[in-house]
């Protein structure tokens, strides 16, 4: 008997979903009276649900993941062939796709050297935290163990990564958290914390102030998103990243760039940090690495970091004593190899830049038309529009009205995103992250849907 998922009776599928699936980020009380949405097919940027409705997906799988679009047979075939040949071996040994993807990835990341595989962004970031703590124990007598993180940034769902959540609502109810994680101010100039001319440099100097308060000898690393994602699509102000790099080098603090969202082309370069001339010590990535065709995440380090774990071979405790079971799956790296080939062969980085410019032009036009848009921000095909109740005071729009705009777009057959249940009083940014294959017609349809929704919700 062979497995057949081409079930004609989709009502049975929906019923099974309602009875047995615990959905992410969902209040299930609603499913006592309505059916959960079940998607059954995707092609390019389009999705179809169990009722037969078609949608244009402007958020790449709901969480910024399907960078090369749905229905890529070449990725599916590459995964199938590899799984038949060798589906898995624990990461203590190598595999062909693991070695080859690591090589290809490092070619895109000058200055970086080593790839540690796991299976989610949260896990990739957790690996860095463990590395930093072990480096502190091995080389600094346990002193440089604190990790700084930024207000409004987000790094994952585990208790360790939630300890570095700059989004209070996400972290609420799950404490107490581990010690040694310290927050630094955000860098969103639209909601300026200082009245200065060189805002980017001032926002970075605020990090130095925290370092000096905590004691430079106690701080081992800082984790930052190149563009803050779920915290409101915050692009860094001019001068910010250069100053952050200077501060890290001044105090011997390891710089960890979280590319889980921005990685593999989302901003128009392979990685978001490459937009700003940063030279990180750690880079983590997940979502777009294989565009959701297989689970994979990577913790990438410099050779300098790697060498800190082989300083005393005679000491059996000196190596990185960690394992990710499913980091040994071969589906992830083989899917990632084909994903990277598609991005290169179809010139999707260039398309991302061009279409990103079109999104921003359209959003700026919407801002001129709709007074509820206070600010638009973005880099490549990762853009946001912050909604306000009053442009002069910048009072954030009520979250329910922001979600009403999302719902109206959905009713039009266009799926957009929004910050939600993350930061008290600041869940007011509409978010767009269409696949890197987006066309001008796709972009215009997305922003036209937003135009209509804004008109109806705020008329």
CB 182 within 8 A of CB 215: no
pLDDT, position 3: 60
DSSP state letter for 314 = T
Per the listing, tokens 């040694």 go with 180
Alpha helices (runs of H) in 255-330, residue ranges in sequence order? 303-307
CB 326 within 8 A of CB 119: yes
Provide the pLDDT confidence category of residue 383 given band limits of 50, 70 and 90.
very high
* pLDDT tens-place string over residues 293-340: 999 999 999 999 999 998 766 667 788 999 999 999 999 999 999 999
At residue 187, does pLDDT exceed 90? yes
Q: What is d(CA 153, CA 209) in angstroms, rounded to the nearest whole number?
A: 19
pLDDT, position 317: 77
At residue 7, does pLDDT exceed 80? no
Beta strands in 287-408 (DSSP E): 297-301, 373-378, 383-390, 395-396
When pLDDT is averaged across residues 6-33 and rounded to a whole number, the result is: 88
Pairing of strands 54-57, 46-49: antiparallel
Classify residue 102 by burial, with Cβ atoms within 10 Å: 0-12, 13-18, 19+.
buried
Task: Write the CA distances from 268 to 75, 200, 290, 384, integer angstroms.
Answer: 22, 22, 17, 16
When pLDDT is averaged across residues 95-109 and rounded to a whole number, the result is: 98
Count of alpha carbons within 13 angstroms of residue 422, beta-carbon side: 22
Of the given ranges (11-15, 231-235, 389-393), which has the lowest mean pLDDT?
11-15
Classify residue 205 by burial, with Cβ atoms within 10 Å: 0-12, 13-18, 19+.
middle
pLDDT, position 310: 86
pLDDT, position 8: 73
| Six-digit token string for 94 | 């190598």
CB 349 within 8 A of CB 339: no
Biggest CA pair distance of the chain = 72
- Partner residues linked to 57 by β-bridges: 415
Provide the percentage of residues in the chain whose pLDDT is more than 70: 97
Provide the pLDDT confidence category of residue 368 given band limits of 50, 70 and 90.
very high
| Six-digit token string for 70 | 């749905």
Q: What is d(CA 37, CA 51) in angstroms, rounded to the nearest whole number?
A: 9
In DSSP notation, 294-342 reads: S--EEEEE-HHHHHTTSS-TTSTTSS-----GGGGBSHHHHHHHHHHHH
* pLDDT tens-place string over residues 196-245: 999 999 999 999 999 999 999 999 999 999 999 999 999 999 999 999 99
CB 236 within 8 A of CB 200: yes
At residue 22, does pLDDT exceed 80? yes
Cis ω for the linkage preceding 118 (within 30 of 0): no
Q: What is d(CA 273, CA 36) in angstroms, rounded to the nearest whole number?
A: 38
Q: What is d(CA 76, CA 184) in angstroms, rounded to the nearest whole number?
A: 42
Task: Write the CA distances from 316 to 125, 143, 196, 275, 302, integer angstroms.
Answer: 25, 22, 52, 40, 23
When pLDDT is averaged across residues 175-188 and rounded to a whole number, the result is: 97
Walk me through the domains of the chain, giving residue ranges and CATH numbers: 37-66+347-458 (3.90.1150.10), 74-345 (3.40.640.10)
CB 396 within 8 A of CB 426: yes
- Partner residues linked to 43 by β-bridges: 46
DSSP state letter for 343 = H
Of the given ranges (10-14, 199-203, 385-389), which has the lowest mean pLDDT?
10-14
pLDDT, position 340: 98
At residue 17, does pLDDT exceed 70? yes
At residue 1, does pLDDT exceed 70? no
The secondary structure of 55-108, three-state, reads: EEECCHHHHHCCCCCECCHHHHHHHHHHHHHCCECCCCCCCHHHHHHHHHHHHC
pTM: 0.96
Q: Average model confidence (pLDDT) for the chain? A: 96
At residue 2, does pLDDT exceed 80? no
């Amino acid at each position: 008997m062979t497995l057949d998922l081409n079930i004609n009776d989709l009502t049975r599928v929906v019923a099974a979903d309602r009875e047995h699936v615990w959905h992410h980020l969902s209040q299930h009380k609603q499913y006592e009276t309505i059916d959960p949405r079940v998607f059954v097919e995707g092609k390019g940027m389009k999705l179809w649900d169990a009722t037969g409705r078609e949608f244009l997906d402007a958020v790449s799988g709901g969480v910024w993941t399907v960078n090369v679009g749905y229905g890529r047979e070449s990725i599916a075939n590459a995964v199938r062939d590899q799984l038949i040949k060798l589906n898995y071996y624990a990461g203590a040994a190598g595999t062909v796709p693991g070695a080859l993807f690591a090589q290809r990835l490092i070619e895109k990341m000058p200055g970086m050297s080593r790839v540690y595989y796991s299976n989610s962004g949260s896990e990739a970031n957790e690996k860095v935290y463990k590395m930093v703590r072990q480096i502190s124990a091995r080389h600094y007598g346990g002193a440089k163990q604190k990790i700084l993180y930024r207000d409004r940034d987000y790094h994952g769902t585990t208790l360790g990564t939630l300890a570095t959540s700059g989004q209070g609502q996400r972290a609420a109810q799950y404490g107490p958290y581990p010690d040694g994680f310290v927050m630094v101010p955000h860098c969103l100039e639209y909601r300026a914390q200082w009245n200065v001319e060189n805002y980017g440099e001032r926002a970075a100097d605020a990090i130095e102030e925290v370092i000096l308060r905590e004691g430079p000898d106690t701080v081992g690393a800082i984790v930052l998103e190149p563009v803050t994602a779920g915290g409101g699509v915050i692009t860094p102000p001019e001068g910010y990243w250069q100053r952050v790099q200077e501060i890290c080098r001044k105090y011997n603090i390891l710089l960890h760039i979280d590319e889980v969202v921005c990685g593999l082309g989302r901003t128009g370069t392979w990685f978001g940090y490459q937009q700003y001339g940063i030279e990180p010590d750690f880079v983590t990535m997940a979502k777009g690495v294989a565009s959701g065709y297989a689970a994979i995440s990577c913790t990438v380090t410099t050779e300098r970091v790697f060498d800190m774990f082989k300083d005393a071979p005679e000491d059996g405790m000196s190596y990185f004593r960690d394992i990710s079971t499913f980091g040994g799956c071969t589906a992830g790296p083989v899917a990632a190899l084909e994903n990277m080939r598609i991005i290169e062969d179809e010139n999707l980085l260039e398309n991302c830049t061009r279409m990103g410019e079109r999104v921003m032009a359209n959003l700026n036009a919407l801002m001129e038309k709709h007074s509820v848009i206070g600010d638009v921000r973005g880099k490549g095909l990762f853009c946001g529009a912050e909604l306000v109740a009053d442009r002069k005071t910048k009072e954030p729009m009520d979250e329910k009205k922001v979600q009403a705009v999302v719902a109206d777009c959905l009713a039009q057959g266009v799926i957009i995103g929004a910050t939600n249940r993350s930061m008290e009083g600041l869940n007011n940014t509409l978010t767009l992250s269409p696949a890197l294959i987006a066309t001008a017609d796709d972009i215009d349809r997305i922003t036209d849907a937003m135009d209509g929704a804004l008109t109806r919700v705020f008329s």
